[in-house]
Amino acid sequence: MSTTTPNSSPSLSHPPKPGGNWQRKLSGFIQPLVLLLPSGVWLLLLLVFPTLLILELSLVPGYRLGQVAGDYGLGNYLDILQSTYLQVIGRSIFFALGTTVLCLLLGFPVAYWIAVMAPKQWRNLLLVGFVLPLWTSSLLRAYAWITILRNSGLLNLLLRSIGLPGQSWLNDTPAVFIGMTYGFLPYMVLILYASLEKLDKRLLEAAADLGANPFQSFWKVTVPQTLPGIAAGGLLVFITSVGDFVVPELLGGASSMTMSRLIYNQFLGATRNWGFGSALSMVMILAVSIAIAFLLRYGDRDSNLT
């Protein structure tokens, strides 16, 4: 990670190149093309092509593998509009939004502490320590939470030992938030760390000099500087958690069907309705794309203003 301070070098904007001969133009065109080729092929084969395949399947109502396909139509998409499925989509978004907010609230202080306050020689170690849980499988982590959250589990044992009544945590919405926040917090911390590390502390000093209280300088200096990090971290957590179904299913109880589980059921459940499953997948891809578009646009505007 680069450690250059923001204003160590004056802005080096290249002067526009004079229009050279056509050969230079051509090589200027080919060079980036060659450089982009590997990732381009990768994207084409593993992203664009499969997505188009899903798009095609989603347009065949009731498509099932191994059966004669019917005509194209929008039936699968119309099916999604039933209240049962809308409720499932709503729940997925609710879980993901809640997780994002919790990750931000918990992740910001941690990232701030590691990036700004912790001794420099400890930073990398602290960061690795924080990311370490990611090395275990998410399924294992969900099972670990079952042991902690169940009625006779560790959490209630702890609560009772200090005289508080135990709660029924497991198989309910709070358990989903606990499990998902735990799972996705490292992503948030990593990204916030990357943007807090480059925080220009002189601006904070200047703010203090000019009479801002700590809250004001946090809100008016620190937060605006890390806004792109907050947006990127929030988006990453949102996207990954909207697609999670391990945690909701294992910790969330009887009423925790999420969109990913619904899609899974369409592909690998009893109905094997690949058409409907593909339509659901397309809706999810679209929703995530829109979220990313918002981020890009927001970032762009931010840099063009003034």
Residue 270 within binding range of another protein, rule CB under 8 A: yes
235 and 153 in contact (C-beta within 8 Å)?
A: no
* Residues 126-145, mask of contacts with another protein (x by CB under 8 A): --------x--xxx---x--
Q: Does 299 bind another protein (CB under 8 A)?
A: yes
| Choice between 13 and 21, CB closer to another protein | 13
Question: Does 259 engage in binding with another protein (CB under 8 A)?
Answer: no
User: Helices (DSSP H) in the chain: which residue ranges?
Assistant: 22-43, 49-58, 75-80, 83-112, 123-131, 138-149, 154-161, 173-196, 201-209, 214-217, 223-242, 246-251, 259-268, 274-304
- 179 interacts with another protein by CB under 8 A: no
Distance CA 143, CA 189 (A): 23
Of 50-58, 94-102, 159-167, 261-269, which segment contacts another protein by CB under 8 A?
261-269
Which structure tokens are listed for 215? 């809250």
The CA distances from residue 266 to 46, 50, 51, 247, 304, in Å, are 22, 18, 17, 19, 45
Smallest gap, in angstroms, from Cβ of residue 139 to another protein? 5
User: Which positions lie near another protein, rule CB under 8 A?
Assistant: 1-2, 6-7, 11, 62, 64-66, 84-85, 87-88, 91, 134, 137-139, 143, 146-147, 150-153, 168, 170-171, 187, 190-191, 194-195, 198, 200, 203, 225, 227-229, 231-233, 236, 240, 246, 249-250, 252-257, 262, 265, 267-273, 299, 302-303, 306
